[in-house]
Amino acid sequence: MRTIDDLDVAGRRVLVRADLNVPLEDGAITDDGRIRASLPTIEALRSRGAKVIVCAHLGRPKGEVKPEFSLAPVAARLGELLGTDVTAASDVVGDSARAAVDGLEDGGVALLENLRFEPGETSKDDAERAAFADRLAALADLYVGDGFGAVHRKHASVYDVPQRLPHAAGGLIVAEVEVLKRLTENVERPYAVVLGGSKVSDKLGVIDNLLGKADRILVGGGMVFTFLKAQGHEVGRSLLEEDQLDTVREYLRRAEESGVEFVLPVDIVAATAFAADADHDVVEAAAIPSDRLGLDIGPESGKLFASRLAGARTVFWNGPMGVFEMEPYSHGTRAVAQGLIDSGAFTVVGGGDSAAAVRRLGFDEAAFSHISTGGGASLEYLEGKTLPGLQALED
């Protein structure tokens, strides 16, 4: 892939596809990590005299203009972090966008409105997507792909636009790909993988692929109850994917056969309801009461997981160990995060909720080797899939 160093950007309009899909509560940004991750590429282009046009998505408005998904708060925060005014267009490729671009001086920055307000951005119809890509590409002279969190999507701004403009990868994508190669090529062993989150089905591909690559796989979060059920244990009212039980049993069989160590919790924090103030107790993982639901791994499991990370040289973590947003069920995720730090290994936090948990629980991001901006993209890369956004940049 070419990088921005390979482009002559001075005085030229550069469309930067960033990932600014930040969480909002009542219109306020609660975690600006993805905005901060986009800064180095934008600042590098500005310093070289580019007219920077940033485009990104927020949420899933499904091709409709919905004010609650406006990027206006993001434009304001981006401007604060850059220390300059960022012109916020009120549309994506309409009059406001064209005016914002036409008004840019060298080193100036404009942010287009939410890409997903346009049906063509996410359309599965090639012609509809191409028509929107034509309009978006017409705003710029050059394209820089820097939204790693979206590269697994065959969307217009990710896949079609770079086919219409001279293009290069931004610094964030270059860094993400370098890290992921360290997890897939010449991995320093032992290689431990920690998987959490709510559903086994979200991780099927990566588990299948890692069974031939990882030395040990630690499983927590909501997905663990399907594993416990597959072993014949009672899981009460915990999250369960009945249709994945046979698949999980096969994974456990293959792991034993191939010498991959599967580590499951030995205790669980089981509550009477999905609420922070619900009655909850620590119970054995094999004996969850039928009227309770598991919302976190227990303290002994936290110690166990930390001990299994201690000897690792490479660790990839994707998915929290419990409902970390509620304090009583945050301790398992905290124990795993601390375990990564204490391991001394090359540690990669796989984006999404894991990255959010690191920040919410107050950890120093610099204590981890890399915190990815793309949970889904990271997983699909580790599954061995071709990512459309990377493919487009490699052409």
Q: Binding site membership for ATP: which residues?
A: 203, 294, 325, 351-354
Length of the chain: 395
Q: Which of 199, 249, 303, 385 is catalytic?
A: 199
Q: For the beta carbon of residue 5, count every other beta carbon within 10 angstroms.
A: 11
For the chain, the maximum distance between any two Cα atoms, rounded to a whole number of angstroms, is 66
- Binding site feature residues for (2R)-3-phosphoglycerate: 34, 116, 153
Q: Which two tokens stand for residue 30?
A: 């609660």
Per the residue annotation, which of 170, 319, 376, 389 is the catalytic one? Answer: 376
Cα separation, 279 vs 224, in Å, equals 21
- 212 classed as catalytic: no
CB environment 195-230: b (16+ within 10 A), e (fewer): bbbbebebbeebbebbbeebbbbbbbbbbbbbbbbb
Residue 191 token pair: 């290689």
**Catalytic: 352?**
yes
Q: How far apart are CA 135 and CA 357, in angstroms?
A: 38
Determine the Cα angle at 228 with ends 317 and 223, to 5°. Answer: 40
For residue 379, give the 3-state DSSP assignment. helix
> Which spans in 91-193 are helix H?
95-102, 119-122, 126-137, 171-184
Tokens 């549309």, residue located: 91
Which of 13, 17, 33, 34 is catalytic? The answer is: 34
Chain-centre distance of CA 384, in angstroms? 17
Of 91, 77, 80, which Cα lies nearest the Cα of 121? 91
Sheet of 293-297, strands arranged across: 280-284, 267-271, 293-297
| Given 352, 374, 375, 389, the catalytic residue | 352
Locus of tokens 């969190």:
149
Residue 123 tokens read as: 């359309």
Which of 206, 188, 221 minimizes the C-alpha distance to 297? Answer: 221
The annotation places the binding site at 19-21, 34, 57-60, 116, 153, 203, 294, 325, 351-354
192 in helix, strand or coil? strand
Alpha-carbon span 209 to 365, nearest angstrom = 28
Annotated binding-site members for substrate: 19-21, 34, 57-60, 116, 153
Active site positions, annotated: 34, 199, 352, 376
